Chain A
Amino acid sequence: MTTTHAIEIVGLTKSYGDHDVLKGVDLRVGAGSIHALLGSNGAGKTTAVKILSTLLRPDGGTATVNGYDVAAQPQEVRASISLTGQFAAVDEVLTGRENLVLIAELRRQPAPGAVADGLLARFDLTAAGGKRVATYSGGMRRRLDMAMSLIGDPAVLFLDEPTTGLDPQSRLEVWATVRELAGRGTTVLLTTQYLDEAEQLADRIAVLHEGRIIADGTLADLKQLLPPTTVEYVEKQPTLEDIFLAIVGHGGAHHEGATR
């Protein structure tokens, strides 16, 4: 286990019937980095994440996570990872705090209650901690979902489209959390269909297209794939997102174009 790669995928294939979803995926994710897996809907992002988190068996190729083979040592892989799926997998009948205690107990934390309270505070959910999750907003659910994923300090975190369906504010909150995690040394593999999300968060970006990685590198590397930049003068218009954030009073200060 002396590898500096937290995730190593070689020649990974997976088909459903005669539909080939992954046609030989190769990818290395450095320990402690944020790696974005970028691709359109149906590109195979979720399938890849499900294989890495031991929910699906690959048809061919190998994948190791934290030095453990996903097919041969699934239980060791599970002890090293956390998965935040595409839809917030939280228990609606339980309260937020009970959700956290549940996961803490399953992960054999010595003081589940204290773990839960700490995470509620960290994710700004203390006030809502005693309420049933069914009453939570989408952003609160996603925050709870991520808080549940952090219990037990997994070495590798899989985030499958963590901001799909979230409003811009919640999206920024998720981004902040991901950055904070990477700062603590957690390896994050993040799938997304949003180009700006990959650009904002990731140290490296891999593009998954039709079952293969067609590009992989830093943003600078990827930019070199295009012809040299030409300079043009274009009047900078605020994006609708800038405007929205400015008028609701979040992060508006540096969006000059939108501050009236």
Chain B
Amino acid sequence: MTTVGHDTTVLLKRSLRHVLRSPDTIITTAITPIAMLLLFVYVFGGAIDVGDQSYVDYLLPGILLVTVASGIAYTAFRLFTDVSGGIVERFQSMPIARSAVLWSHVLTSVVANLTSLVLVVAVALVMGFRSGAGVLAWLGVLAIMVLFTLALTWLAVIPGLTARSVDGVSGFSYPLIFLPFISSAFVPTAGMPGPVRWFAEHQPVTSIVDTIRRLFAEQPVGSDVWVALAWCVGLLVVAYLLAMRTYRAKVA
């Protein structure tokens, strides 16, 4: 429908302006993952055995997920600011497409997170990250990251709409940043004790990280890619439905 397209575009321009005028949000988003990258490569990395791969090559895929997990806190924050400031009510009392407000925030989140991801990859390249991956493999990585960002963004929409304070808004992303630690993102799962290892191997981060790692290393992705896609799409659908339900309850 053209109304949704037009209204979303107008509102997207607005919220991209917000991001452009506070570039610190992009930098803050990238700082945590970059700090982790430095810490693990130069401090802990020497003690971690990841076979004949260089540790920065091993680590980067997981760091990319951490970047998105920390970036969506700003998505929730921007939406919360709009809701609590009353501008969402103004938009909702106007003859515009109902979902345009949410879609503009979601698309802004994708743009902002991809920018942070580029920043993190650039730092990794300086630190010695190398990949012989071709265009197709890079596009595969991009596709997975976009899907993952969309899934987490729709999840972030829920606290953005319902939170009562700024603290409540950003708090939800901490567990998401922590989740990669109990996965194959930082260390191989083989050395973990039984139940921890079982959890690590069956949570979404491991399959996504393993898939991206194989794409970068020019190896066949195997069945992991389907598990990774299933997690991303499944999470995306559930988060989208929950967010839309929250939104409808909120705007009547």
- Residues of A that sit less than 8 Å from B by CB: 53-57, 75, 78-79, 81-83, 85-94, 98, 102-103, 105-108, 148
Contacts and interface: CB of A to CB of B under 8 A. Distances in A.
A106 B87 contact: no
Given A94-B14, A98-B17, A106-B10, A55 B86 contact: no
A56 to B, nearest CB: 6
Given A93-B18, A94-B14, A102-B10, A54 B87 contact: no
B17 A93 contact: yes
Contacts of B86: 85-89
B89 A55 contact: yes
A98 B16 CA distance: 13
Given A83-B89, A94-B14, A106-B10, A55 B94 contact: no
B96 interface: yes
Contacts of B18: 93
Interface in B1-40: 6-7, 10-11, 14, 17-18, 21-22
A102 B15 CA distance: 11
Contact of B252 (A57, A82, A94, A98): A57
Interface of A is mostly: loop
Interface string B51-94: 00000000000000000000000000000000001110111111
B59 to A, nearest CB: 35
B251 interface: yes
Contacts, number: 61
B95 interface: yes
Contacts of A55: 89, 92-93, 251-252
Contacts of A108: 6
A93 B82 CA distance: 11
Interface in B134-186: none
B93 A53 contact: yes
A105 B10 contact: yes
A103 B87 CA distance: 11
Contacts of B14: 91, 94, 98, 102
Given A81-B93, A83-B93, A105-B10, A93 B21 contact: yes
Given A81-B93, A83-B89, A102-B10, 8 more contacts: A56-B252, A75-B95, A79-B95, A85-B90, A86-B86, A89-B85, A89-B86, A89-B87
A82 B93 contact: yes
Given A55-B89, A57-B252, A93-B18, A78 B10 contact: no
B35 to A, nearest CB: 28
A82 B93 CA distance: 7
Contacts of A54: 92-93, 252
8 contacts: A53-B93, A78-B93, A81-B93, A87-B86, A93-B21, A94-B17, A103-B94, A107-B94
A93 B92 CA distance: 20
Contacts of A106: 7, 10-11, 91, 94, 96
